[in-house]
Structure 1
Amino acid sequence: MEIHEILQPLDFAVVGIYLVTLIAIGYWVSFRKQPASGENLFLAGKSLRWPSIGFTMWGTNVGPSMLIASASIGYTTGIVAGNFAWYAFIFIFLLAVVFAPRYLGARVQTLPEFMGKRFGDSTQNILAWYTIVTVLISWLSLTLFAGGILVRQMLDLPLWISVILLLAIASFFTIAGGLKAIAYTNVFQMVLLIVVSLALTLTGLYQVGGVGELIAQTPPEYWNLLLPAEDPNYPWVAIALGYPVMGVWFWCTDQSMVQSVLGARNLKEGQLGANFTGWLKILDVALFILPGIMCFVLFPDLEDPDEAYMTMVTSLFPVGMTGLVMAVLIAALVSTIDSALNALSTVFTMDIYVKKYRPAASQQQIIRMGRVVTILGAIIAVFITLAIDSIQGLNLFDVFQSILGFIAPPMSVVFLFGVLWKKTTTKAANSILLFGTLLSLTIGVGYLWVFPNAEYTFWPHFLLLSFYIFVFLAALIVVISYIDRNRKNLYISTLDFGTIPKLPNKVKWLWIALITVMVGMYLLFNGH
């Protein structure tokens, strides 16, 4: 029976109540105080506290592909995909102690603006367009594709209507209230996500017969975070070397992820918010992967593992609760989409419109342009999403991770060297952003489409490929910088982030606690 045939009127009533509540929260936040400036629209007036920052970062990361694909991987391989959640704490820590003090100290609204102060206008222009294309493809279109499929399954609607419906809800918050409305609604949505996902995990655990029974009825390797180096899917070497390249880009340099930290009331709130995100990431395995492992025990004969999550929902939850899960999936979608739309709007408006074309633009013009870009970005994303839908045999999760792996190396190299090595020159940074991106994406296209990995066995794991590209580009940026340093008329950095303050005691002890817990997790699930 199709999913949309199982749903009852009560389920749709629950979804309706949820949407009305969500819009009411967004309206209250957006219009009780009219936005007075572009900074209010894009960075919430620099007013965000740590709970909003943590929930927004986590909510941006938790898309529908996370729920569906994590359960699917749990069904087929166990908790190994938990590395993509738990390994992240190192790079969230890097954001808190290395990057956030510099971003906030420089008082920038966007990361291209930050690098523009470091390397000049040419780098800012390249990064602005780079960020816009990345947001459109990686965040908006792939998320809308995953979400559109889910809504299509639930409501039996055409994909284009499903996508437009999701965009309409998300665009409301981005256009009306900017980051502050997104942050407030994200807190509501993420609490709901935790409650419903926890209910599914506990219900599944009860049906299986408890933790002991779950472990007894699954293969021992299902509980290993570190799989042998010869494992075809997730060898530990590929994860250990390749994920850091993706982690630096994703958690430290991606506008969509870092946007809420830039909107922090102060550095301490930003660092506490990043720490809170690290704690929330621990939940990913219990809330998203464990239901897939339980489904393996309860429903071992599934033809399509991608159906594991919805199979658990429709089989274990009563009428009404299924509607609540639909609401949660929409919450995860809206959370990712509105954060991406806000990042897209911020970068185009501040780094291209104001920087290049209208330096003297009024606040009203800036806000109007931000809203126009949001609408245009949403329309473009619909067409890209429909183009993705026309590709046959697309495995969303694997392609998504692969694309991230091939996008990441140039950005990771430029930001790491730009922030940590003063001798890096503008020519070196721009060369990596242009040539490095072309190289990385060409290899990615070859890996995914021209000589697909499924047919050609000469390819290393895509995470190892990402690592090799990173090492090559890191060596290249050093060589070009040394050659370029002897020339005249080098750009003199105007980047001034002041003195980096010491970590406050509260921040320091919370990070020590999180690092201790995460090391303990890896020792507990260490492959024995």
Structure 2
Amino acid sequence: MKDLNNLLQPLDYTIIVGYLLILLAIGYWVSFVKDKKQNENLFLAGNSLGWASIGLNMWGTNVGPSMLIASASIGYTTGIVAGNFAWYAFVFIFLLAVVFAPRYLHARVQTLPEFMGKRFGDSTRNILAWYTLITILISWLALTLFAGGILIQQLLGFPMWLSVISMVLLAACFSIAGGLKAIAYTNVFQMLLLIAVSLLLTVFGFMKAGGVMEVYNNTPGEFWNLLLPADDKNYPWLAIVLGYPVMGVWFWCTDQSMVQSVLGAKTLKQGQLGVNFIGWLKILDVPLFILPGIICAVLYPNLKSPDEAYITMVTGLFPTGMIGLIVVVLIAALISTIGSALNSLSTVFTMDIYVKNHKPDASPAEIVRIGRFVNIAGALIAIFITLAIDSIKGLNLFDVFQSVLGFIAPPMSVVFLFGVLWKRTTTRAANFTLTAGTVISLGIGVLYLWVFPSAEYPAWPHFLQLSFYIFVLLATLAFLITIFDKNAASNERNILDYTNLAKPSKDVWILWILLIVVMVGLYVFFNGH
């Protein structure tokens, strides 16, 4: 098969350039012509989100170009087993709805660091601000740059370092021209287009392969099992059952980007219905995002890298012109994520660390100057992290994503579970877990991914099992610190009062029971092969 960058025709390049110019023009109009007060009101609408907005916003945050490329990659190599990362999530989405959301909304907080500040005090809130910076740098910025770098590599043949720098510069150009606001305005359209493209890929792929049964008959039987044997080298069932919950609690219950929509709910019931809605939407992840990779394994079995599966399907099944449109939407959405991550990074550092702790009387001009400096510094740090991620050997894109997230998750999962479920948990235990626990977790991650890479040192357990072991270690330490903390009584004043906590309504319970029945049915059906 010829190089992917040779498959783009002049019409595709024309559409790519034209689309980017249109976005820049819309960005200029939004930033310098349209009434700015109206824009502010959009973001200061308060608690006004209904269940549909909450579900779609959460799914939109979760479904990005990085996920499309990575999901097709893992589908190409292992089948639907990666569907566990979408379908097993319903357990932790349920946990968000019935355990965490009532407490978040009862506490009337805007951010999760603020919630933990009410629970454990300002010291924990300050540490969480730094922790948030680390997670934004790694999970939202570096991993998105890595996925974007792979896309640019495939399309233009650039080396990774040049691809990543190009992405950062492109994001900077949009930011300067106000283009990121344009992408924010067009993000709903872009998300719907990406979902439609994935649906068409699945349909066109089945048609070209000769139908559903042809694809089924030309793939290994284990491709259609969600739970694989304990000795499977890719995703053994024990690793998924034990390890994914650590990541699931962190991502679905404690990550600000995911929980933000729930915090903006009109009422608790709307928040819980919205969270239930994303549980149903997550069912679509397997047919929309993983199936194209499985079909690609049938149609194009000899790819140089499984990470090429998504773009190979696009270039192989879609006509000239449409390829260019899809590529530019992928790039624009990646730039949007990069720009949003840089903006979040500068906001958290400037407001939660610099202004709050160092210069409360900072002038607006100084705040803007610090914010720009953090943007530049964050971009440079993210480039180096991305190049480090690129040096990881023996893992495809999806595995890189999940392994990196698996080492970020344990400290936050421990702190929030203990903070919400155990009244006795002390500030000292929480702060130790967030500081020393993060050093332990990320340190083991560096050893696993770079110093003694698992591809060369097979004695390592699966990264999901490793994430579980780290979680157990940190939970044990948090428990022991709390038990032996002589100042435990002084923490009582920080405990939030949940005596009048609202209970889920009958409607909410009925919808959750229905979803649980459907999910259990899917697991039974996809484990009989």
- Once the 2 structures are TM-superposed, how far is the Cα of residue 64 of structure 1 from its aligned partner? 3.4
Comparing 95-104 and 83-92, the one that deviates more: 95-104
- Once the 2 structures are TM-superposed, how far is the Cα of residue 72 of structure 1 from its aligned partner? 2.0
**Is residue 116 of structure 1 aligned with residue 137 of structure 2?**
no
**Is residue 89 of structure 1 aligned with residue 85 of structure 2?**
no
The C-alpha deviation readout for 1:453-490, integer Å capped at 9, x for no partner, is 12223221111111122122222212211211566644
C-alpha separation between the residues in 2 aligned to 1:117 and 1:392? 43
- Secondary structure of the structure 2 residue equivalent to 1:55: helix
Q: Is the 8 A contact 1:11 1:321 kept in 2?
A: yes
Comparing 24-33 and 140-149, the one that deviates more: 24-33
- Once the 2 structures are TM-superposed, how far is the Cα of residue 510 of structure 1 from its aligned partner? 3.5
Q: Which residue is 2:426 aligned to?
A: 425
Q: Which residue is 1:466 aligned to?
A: 467
Q: Which residue is 1:7 aligned to?
A: 8
- Secondary structure of the structure 2 residue equivalent to 1:227: coil
Q: Which residue is 1:403 aligned to?
A: 404
C-alpha separation between the residues in 2 aligned to 1:135 and 1:161? 18
Q: Give the direction of change, closer, same or farther, for the CA distance of 1:504–1:38 in structure 2 (3 Å limit).
A: farther
Comparing 7-16 and 403-412, the one that deviates more: 7-16
Match runs of 1:107-186 below 5 Å: 107-156=108-157, 158-168=162-172, 171=175, 185-186=186-187
Match runs of 1:337-356 below 5 Å: 337-356=338-357
- Once the 2 structures are TM-superposed, how far is the Cα of residue 12 of structure 1 from its aligned partner? 2.9
Comparing 459-468 and 105-114, the one that deviates more: 105-114
Q: Give the direction of change, closer, same or farther, for the CA distance of 1:393–1:78 in structure 2 (3 Å limit).
A: closer
Q: Is the 8 A contact 2:81 2:223 kept in 1?
A: yes
C-alpha separation between the residues in 1 aligned to 2:304 and 2:347? 43
Q: Give the direction of change, closer, same or farther, for the CA distance of 1:386–1:486 in structure 2 (3 Å limit).
A: closer
Tell me the amino acid that sits aligned with residue 240 of structure 2: I
- Secondary structure of the structure 2 residue equivalent to 1:193: helix
C-alpha separation between the residues in 2 aligned to 1:183 and 1:256? 15
The C-alpha deviation readout for 1:428-460, integer Å capped at 9, x for no partner, is 111212222222222222222222212223221
**Is residue 60 of structure 1 aligned with residue 64 of structure 2?**
no
Q: Is the 8 A contact 1:409 1:440 kept in 2?
A: yes
C-alpha separation between the residues in 2 aligned to 1:487 and 1:9? 68
Tell me the amino acid that sits aligned with residue 431 of structure 1: F
Q: Which residue is 2:302 aligned to?
A: 301
Q: Which residue is 1:445 aligned to?
A: 446
- Secondary structure of the structure 2 residue equivalent to 1:422: coil
Tell me the amino acid that sits aligned with residue 110 of structure 2: Q
Q: Give the direction of change, closer, same or farther, for the CA distance of 1:26–1:91 in structure 2 (3 Å limit).
A: farther
Root-mean-square deviation (CA), in Å? 3.3
Match runs of 1:17-32 below 5 Å: 18-19=19-20, 32=34
Tell me the amino acid that sits aligned with residue 434 of structure 1: T
- Once the 2 structures are TM-superposed, how far is the Cα of residue 152 of structure 1 from its aligned partner? 3.7
The C-alpha deviation readout for 1:387-437, integer Å capped at 9, x for no partner, is 545677774432321121111111101000101111100011112122222
- Secondary structure of the structure 2 residue equivalent to 1:65: helix
Match runs of 1:118-517 below 5 Å: 118-156=119-157, 158-168=162-172, 171=175, 185-359=186-360, 373-374=374-375, 376-386=377-387, 388-389=389-390, 395-485=396-486, 489-490=490-491, 492-493=493-494, 495=496, 499-517=500-518
- Secondary structure of the structure 1 residue equivalent to 2:282: helix
Q: Which residue is 1:34 aligned to?
A: 36
- Once the 2 structures are TM-superposed, how far is the Cα of residue 69 of structure 1 from its aligned partner? 2.5
Q: Give the direction of change, closer, same or farther, for the CA distance of 1:161–1:481 in structure 2 (3 Å limit).
A: closer
Q: Give the direction of change, closer, same or farther, for the CA distance of 1:92–1:297 in structure 2 (3 Å limit).
A: same
Q: Give the direction of change, closer, same or farther, for the CA distance of 1:490–1:500 in structure 2 (3 Å limit).
A: closer
Q: Give the direction of change, closer, same or farther, for the CA distance of 1:175–1:126 in structure 2 (3 Å limit).
A: farther
Identity percentage over the alignment? 69
- Once the 2 structures are TM-superposed, how far is the Cα of residue 55 of structure 1 from its aligned partner? 3.4
- Once the 2 structures are TM-superposed, how far is the Cα of residue 205 of structure 1 from its aligned partner? 0.7
Q: What is the number of equivalent residue pairs in this alignment?
A: 524
Q: Is the 8 A contact 1:79 1:290 kept in 2?
A: yes
- Secondary structure of the structure 2 residue equivalent to 1:492: helix
Tell me the amino acid that sits aligned with residue 296 of structure 1: A
Q: Is the 8 A contact 2:5 2:157 kept in 1?
A: yes
Q: Is the 8 A contact 1:70 1:288 kept in 2?
A: yes
TM-score, normalising length: structure 2: 0.88
Q: Is the 8 A contact 1:104 1:497 kept in 2?
A: no
- Once the 2 structures are TM-superposed, how far is the Cα of residue 136 of structure 1 from its aligned partner? 0.5
Tell me the amino acid that sits aligned with residue 36 of structure 2: Q
Tell me the amino acid that sits aligned with residue 282 of structure 2: K
Q: Is the 8 A contact 2:80 2:286 kept in 1?
A: yes
C-alpha separation between the residues in 2 aligned to 1:182 and 1:90? 33
Q: Is the 8 A contact 1:271 1:507 kept in 2?
A: yes
C-alpha separation between the residues in 2 aligned to 1:169 and 1:498? 51
Q: Is the 8 A contact 2:393 2:453 kept in 1?
A: no
TM-score, normalising length: structure 1: 0.88
Q: Is the 8 A contact 2:97 2:271 kept in 1?
A: yes
Q: Give the direction of change, closer, same or farther, for the CA distance of 1:376–1:50 in structure 2 (3 Å limit).
A: farther
**Is residue 72 of structure 1 aligned with residue 73 of structure 2?**
yes
